[in-house]
Amino acid sequence: MKNDISGEDRLDRVIESVKPPGDREYIENNLTRFLHILRHLGVRISSAEAVDAVNALAAVNMLDRRQVETAFLATLAKSPEDRVILDRAFQAYFVTPEEKAERTAKQRQKREQEAREIQAVQDELKYELEDAENGESKEVSVPLTEEEKKIYTRLPEDKKSRLRDYLKKQFQGNTVNNPEQLIASMVKSSLNYWKYYLKYHGDGPPAVDYTGDEGTDEILREVVEKLRDEEQLLYQDIQNIAEADMPTATALITKLSRKLATRISRRYHRSKKRQRLDLRRTIRYNIRYGGTMFSLRYKTKKVQKPKILLICDVSGSMAKYAGFVLQFMYGLSSVTEEIESFIFSEKVERVTAEFGKPLPFEITMTELINRSEDWGRGTDFNHALAEIASQYKGLLNKETFVIIVSDTKTINVEKASLRLQDLKKKVKDIIWLNTLPKKLWLDTTSVLVFRRYCHMFECNTLAHLDKIMRSEILK
Amino acid sequence: MELSIEQLKLAFEQQGYIADEEAVVTTYLALKLQKPLLVEGPPGVGKTEIAKVLAGVFDTELIRLQCYEGLDENKALYEWNYQKQLIKIQLSQVNREDRRQAVEDNLFSEDYLLERPLLKAIRAEKTPVLLIDEVDKVDQEFEAFLFEVLSDFQVSIPEWGTLKSRQIPIVVLTSNGERELSDGLKRRCVYLYLDFPDPAKELRIITAKVPEISRRLSLEVAKAVGYIRERLELRKKPSIAETLDWARALVALDADRLTPEVVDLTLNIIFKNKDDIDTFRQNLGPQELVASAANGTGVGKPGGRG
């Protein structure tokens, strides 16, 4: 212990000795904290850029708020998305002391409210237990962990009251052996379900890495809330997008699918670069110069446009995303000629013809939905792949790029994975757009199995789709 | 030549480039920190123009490297004039006057070097403006090569050794954001995002570039274009260049204000494909556009941050 104190002392002294004097210390500390916050919001900032920011600050008028922000924007935020985050963080971080105090008070109030709610859980989830021996009843609280209590507070009111009623009705006067444990496990498992549910349905802005430091987290929370309000459409789960927002979302999906198509085709054009001397044509051409190799001729690889094979899941579990899937297929089909589209659930169906016609989206959809029997059934990915492999052999070759849109929930996972492995060998590459939230991937066997044979991306918000476009693999 | 922020703003205006404060301050920072300026934004918002204006402001040469898929070092840096070298060899064999060594030395002299934009910028006498246009179109390997050149401003030619630039050129890179650029390249640059201008700025641009236009018409054009960009989901939003073309076309048609008829006649100038014209007719139409531009409710969202 004594050693610790002296160690701390020494550390303090070292910090003291390297501290720059006077005002500079304040500005630099402030700046590094700001950078820290930006990094926690997902903006990637290198040390070189931090140095640039300091130099930029020295070059502008520090008393002009706009100029200071511009200096940060120019040196730290290097994409339109990062600019929005930096702007909101700047507004939240560089505030007057009064605003800061107000925010702290608000946050504290919020935390106290949360604490009160958690405290109340103990009282709300009580039930009466009759003692079999003396006939007296006593009140028992369900022993819950802090996390479980938190989940309870996040539930909608009707779900809460259902849980309370359940406790009242089921166990009043019911004398079973060791009922306390039984009840506790019942409530716990119910809360566990809700934890999964809330996770599944909770959509939010980009992942934020909270620091644990109160002051910093306050700012992070404020920025996140602001972003969530503004960029709702982009960060919203596609299945929850309201009817009114659909046109905008549709336009976005079309734009992004078009981007995907150009991105993929671009990747293959690169082979053009590898030039080799074409000796035969060079000699022939240069005969006119008496055999001097005056003009060189190169062999160029033929540029083949990639074929896209789109396989979309339209089973029951994907029903909520059907709109998205179809928009995506339509968008991709309208810009790429070499595309084959399939939909599958229990069976597989080729829908290339439907999407190939230059008809408006609504008509294509009505036609497709009326004709197909696959909508909303169970999923058999194994069967779908087997059928594609046997009936459409000609489509699978090294120029084919496969895009699968599915939540991976299927029967016959093992068999399907073997099929996928087989498919992988035959085609150029496989991209899997998974509508299942990434947080659930680790608990889902099918995801783990399929992931081995393809590049899998989480894709249930438009922000995801946009991110996929920017990802390394498609560069 | 050192300029302050105010002086730079003034110089931009003298060159006929209407820039908001953010663009000026960012450009100023790039000059001050001697870093390349990376300008991103949709097509037609004046990204390339910044380089041209800078060349005008500093009265210096503008060296342009237009990027495209498959662009390689030979096309960007230097090439030996292979044909000329061959002729030289042939001639020396015929004449037999030159000694072998001398011929070989001469083959890699200045006379046989084809300078490409990057080398030209490095060897320039007076600080040039180097414009690397549409950098998002190049392959990743070339991008890596590019940021090596941009960080040291030196290249090595095996026959000559290392060439270091006499002064650091003013570098402007532009990108349409078709592909995310690598972190390495971004890290070395000062970043500017140019969005479509708000109606007020667009009005200033129209007045500066089309001086013969009436005040009323320019105001209506600026509002109408802002309204179109905000309201319609288009394949290609009208850029500043299209706004100016439209303004000029309207002046040529002797219009002094927007009317549905004149809008209908000039649709092809604002929209560059049939889908967009259809979208316009279905969702907005000339009548509504004219009404919104005339009564002032159609003021578009300001460009904003991001």
pLDDT in tens, A241-255: 666 666 667 777 777
Residues 6+ apart with CB under 8 A from B162: B154, B155, B156
Residue A242 neighbours by CB distance under 10 Å: 10
Greater pLDDT, B141 or A197: B141
| Structure confidence at residue B298 (pLDDT) | 41
Q: What is the largest CA-CA distance in chain A?
A: 120
User: If you search the block for the tokens 């990434």, which residue do you land on?
Assistant: A438
| Mean pLDDT of the region A371-388 | 80
- Is any Cβ of chain A less than 8 angstroms from the Cβ of B177? yes
Joined together, the tokens standing for residue B226 give: 């802002």
- Which tops the pLDDT comparison, B176 or A262? B176
Is B144 within 8 Å of chain A by CB?
no
Q: What is the pLDDT of residue A214?
A: 72
pLDDT at A383 over 70: yes
Per-position b or e across B258-289, b if 16+ CB within 10 A of its CB: beeebbeebeebbbeeeebeebbeeebebeeb
pLDDT of B117 > 80? The answer is yes
Instruction: Please determine, for residue B133, whether its predicted confidence score (pLDDT) is greater than 90.
Output: yes
User: A62, A78, A269: best mutation site toward chain B, by most B Cβ within 10 Å?
Assistant: A78
Answer yes or no: is pLDDT of A393 > 80.
yes
Identify the residue whose tokens are 């960080």.
B151
* Cβ distance of B25 and A470 shorter than 8 Å: no
Residue of B86, B139, B306 with shortest CB distance to A80:
B306
For residue B40, which residues of chain A lie inside 8 Å, CB to CB? 79-80
Q: How many CB atoms lie within 10 A of CB B46?
A: 21
pLDDT for position A15: 52
| pLDDT for position B295 | 74
pLDDT, mean of residues A10-36: 65
What count of Cα atoms within 13 Å lies in the side-chain half-sphere of residue A308? 28
More confidently predicted of B283 and B51: B51
Dihedral of alpha carbons A178, A180, A183, A189, sign: negative
* Torsion angle of the four alpha carbons A329, A330, A335, A336, in this order, in degrees rounded to the nearest 10: 40
Distances (CA, A) of A108 to A229, B137, B176: 22, 50, 45
A3 pLDDT exceeds 60? no
Structural Rg of chain A based on CA atoms = 30
Q: What mean pLDDT comes out for the span B187-207?
A: 91
Asked if the Cβ–Cβ distance from A60 to B22 is below 8 Å, we say no
Q: Which residues from chain A sit within 8 angstroms of residue B28, using beta carbons? A: 59
Q: Please check the confidence at residue A267 and state whether its pLDDT lies above 80.
A: no
Nearest CB among B32, B69, B178 relative to A269 is that of: B69
- Residue closest to B227 by CA, chosen among B171, B164, B294, B146: B294
Burial of residue A31, with CB atoms counted within 10 A of its CB: 0-12 exposed, 13-18 middle, 19 or more buried = middle
Beta bridge partners of B157: B161
**Residue A6 has what pLDDT?**
55
Greatest Cα pair distance in chain B: 85
Q: Kindly tell me if the per-residue pLDDT of B47 is higher than 50.
A: yes
Averaged pLDDT score across all residues of chain B: 86
Interface ipTM: 0.85
pLDDT for the residue B39: 95
Residue A379 pLDDT > 50, yes or no?
yes
pLDDT greater than 50 at residue A412: yes
Handedness of CA A418, A422, A423, A424 (dihedral sign): positive
Type of residue found at B250 = L
For residues A53 and A74, what is the distance between their CA atoms, to the nearest angstrom?
8
pLDDT one-digit tens code per residue, B65-115: 999 877 888 888 888 888 888 888 878 777 765 566 677 777 888 888 898
pLDDT at B300 exceeding the cut of 50: no
The per-residue pLDDT for B132 is 95
pLDDT at A25: 52
Q: How confident is the model at residue A1 (pLDDT cuts 50, 70, 90)?
A: very low
Q: How far is CA A1 from its chain centroid?
A: 46
Provide the pLDDT confidence category of residue A44 given band limits of 50, 70 and 90: confident
Length of chain A: 475
- Quote the pLDDT of residue A71: 95
Report the pLDDT value the prediction gives residue A142, as an integer from 0 to 100: 73
DSSP B28-75: HHHHHHT-PEEEE-STTSSHHHHHHHHHHHTT--EEEEE--TT--HHH
Residues with Cβ within 8 Å of residue A70, at least 6 apart in sequence: A60, B21, B22, B25, B26, B29
Chain A residue with the nearest C-alpha to that of B189: A75
The per-residue pLDDT of chain A, averaged, comes to 75
Query: Residue A409 has what pLDDT?
Result: 86
Least confident of A66-70, A220-224, A252-256: A252-256
Overall average pLDDT of the A289-293 stretch? 80
Where residue A209 falls among pLDDT bands split at 50, 70, 90?
low
Q: How near does any CA of chain B get to the CA of A74, in Å?
A: 5
Is the pLDDT at A352 greater than 50? The verdict is yes
Q: Which two tokens stand for residue A29?
A: 């500390």
A123-140 pLDDT tens trace: 777 766 666 566 666 677
- What is the pLDDT averaged over residues A437-454? 87
Q: To which residue do tokens 């401003």 refer? A: B153
pLDDT over 50 at A33, yes or no: yes
pLDDT of residue B256: 85
B30 touches chain A (CB under 8 A): yes
Q: Do A59 and B33 touch (CB under 8 A)?
A: yes
pLDDT of residue A443: 82
Query: Mean pLDDT, to the nearest integer, of A171-189?
Result: 64
Chain A hits for B38, Cβ within 8 Å? 78
Q: What is residue B239's predicted lDDT score, i.e. its pLDDT?
A: 92
- pLDDT of A231 > 60? The answer is no
Which whole number is the average pLDDT over A160-173?
68
Q: Domains plus CATH for chain A?
A: 13-94 (no CATH), 116-201 (no CATH), 247-273+306-474 (3.40.50.410), 275-301 (no CATH)
Q: Do residue A84 and residue B90 have CB atoms under 8 angstroms apart?
A: no
Mapped onto helix, strand or coil, the DSSP state of residue A18 is: helix
pTM: 0.69
Q: Is B68 on the interface with A (CB under 8 A)?
A: no
**Does the structure show a pLDDT above 80 at B135?**
yes
Contacts of A269 in chain B (CB under 8 A): 69-70
Interface residue of B193, B230, B235 to substitute, partner A, most A CBs within 10 Å: B193
- Cα-Cα-Cα-Cα dihedral sign, residues A61, A64, A68, A73: negative
Span A142-154, pLDDT tens digits: 777 777 777 777 7
Nearest to B305 among A49, A78, A83 (CB): A83
Contact A74 B190 (CB under 8 A): yes
Least confident piece of the model among A92-101, A260-269, B172-181: A260-269
Q: Is the pLDDT of residue B225 over 90?
A: yes
Check pLDDT > 70 for residue A474: no
Nearest-CA residue of chain A relative to B304?
A84
Name the band, by pLDDT with cuts 50, 70 and 90, for residue A262: low
